[in-house]
Structure 1
């Protein structure tokens, strides 16, 4: 993990989380090397509040989040996050991730693809990690973070490019790398930093597999 003021950024998938989320998920991050949070101003610390945990007792922040994965105040009505650690066949992971992308929820698609990455055989790990990075790149772009979106799109495209010839599971590697380049060029015309205008998440979503 690498630190930024007010947030923690995963070196593997590029997702950001606020400081409170980082503390809440420290045990899980230490075990997996990943996180699925989003940058935001953390709420005031409550030393009396116990660490949030999921149904299996693992550290997992319970703050509600919006459709792009940004934390909302406790008690707000948010969009449910994807269940963590779900075992899916590769085709099922792609179908679920596509459904979420089409619904304008690339952050949630990234969570599905991250599960696939963690479960993938060694020969496919970079493929699934690259797909998760592309989803995070679109998440950043949809939030208006042109710099973060560009960085993740470039990383994701580079990770999946070696699979162009084999195209496992019908993944449209060539189409996805072309999509990432086009979106990167589009973001390059936006102001640097987090001030770039957001792109429409659903309208900008790529197709993961060939027709």
Structure 2
């Protein structure tokens, strides 16, 4: 039996039984890692399959609470578990949420870039699909909000309040 078959090495790092890294460190509301033992914000469970309506409602609640990193994880679940035809929609919304996360963390360049990338993705998906308001999501409004915020954070360079800046996804 060769070393490749011996299984994961116990190197003291937080790994699952397959040897993949786990993200067990506590996190703050913007997803930044905190020291082990610190009181963090409860993590979003990963790999949850939700209906589109549940996805939008949960993501909006997290955005409103100033937790865009967590909203990004909800959109990421939809992107990974939803139909192939909707993956770009959910991925674009995840990019918008993580762009807001970076802008709130003070990463002006990365935040603006992701906000614009997400805005372009949701606009393009809406045009290609012919659905400007899938599941009640105002794609044009979300895109305009993201582009405006990207320009503002680049111009001002200020750290923003994620909850105060949260977009309205739709209805």
Report TM bin, short chain.
Answer: 0.7 to 0.9
Secondary structure of the residue aligned to 2:143 is: helix
Structure 1 or 2: more helix by fraction:
2
Q: Which residue of the partner structure matches residue 183 of structure 1?
A: 149
Counterpart-to-counterpart distance in 2, 1:136 and 1:127: 14
The structure, 1 or 2, with the larger RCO (C-alpha pairs under 8 Å, 6+ apart) is 2
State whether residues 150 and 187 of structure 1, in contact with CA within 8 Å, keep that contact through their aligned partners in structure 2. yes
Q: Which residue of the partner structure matches residue 208 of structure 1?
A: 169
Q: Which residue of the partner structure matches residue 174 of structure 1?
A: 140
Q: Which has the larger radius of gyration?
A: 2
Residues 80 and 53 (structure 1), Cα distance of their counterparts in 2 relative to 1, 3 Å cut: farther
Structure 1 spans left out of the alignment, 5+ residues = 1-46, 191-195
Match 2:160 to one of 190, 196, 199: 199
Q: Which residue of the partner structure matches residue 16 of structure 1?
A: none
The Cα of 1:208 is off from its aligned counterpart by 1.1
Normalising by structure 2, we get a TM-score of: 0.86
State whether residues 75 and 90 of structure 2, in contact with CA within 8 Å, keep that contact through their aligned partners in structure 1. yes
Q: Which residue of the partner structure matches residue 4 of structure 2?
A: none
Q: Which residue of the partner structure matches residue 156 of structure 1?
A: 118
Q: Which residue of the partner structure matches residue 126 of structure 1?
A: 88
Residue by residue over 1:88-146, the C-alpha shift from the partner in whole angstroms, topping out at 9 and shown as x without a partner, is: 00100000000000000000000100000001211111000000000000000111111
Q: Which residue of the partner structure matches residue 23 of structure 1?
A: none
Counterpart-to-counterpart distance in 2, 1:52 and 1:65: 17
Normalising by structure 1, we get a TM-score of: 0.70
Residue by residue over 1:5-46, the C-alpha shift from the partner in whole angstroms, topping out at 9 and shown as x without a partner, is: xxxxxxxxxxxxxxxxxxxxxxxxxxxxxxxxxxxxxxxxxx
Q: How many residues align?
A: 158
Structure 1 or 2: more strand by fraction:
1
Greater CA drift, 100-109 or 117-126:
117-126
Structure 2 spans left out of the alignment, 5+ residues = 1-9
Runs of 4 or more consecutive aligned structure 1 residues displaced over 3 Å after TM superposition: 56-59
Matched ranges for 1:87-102 at <5 A: 87-102=49-64
Residues 80 and 57 (structure 1), Cα distance of their counterparts in 2 relative to 1, 3 Å cut: farther
1:106 paired to 2:72 = no
State whether residues 53 and 62 of structure 1, in contact with CA within 8 Å, keep that contact through their aligned partners in structure 2. no
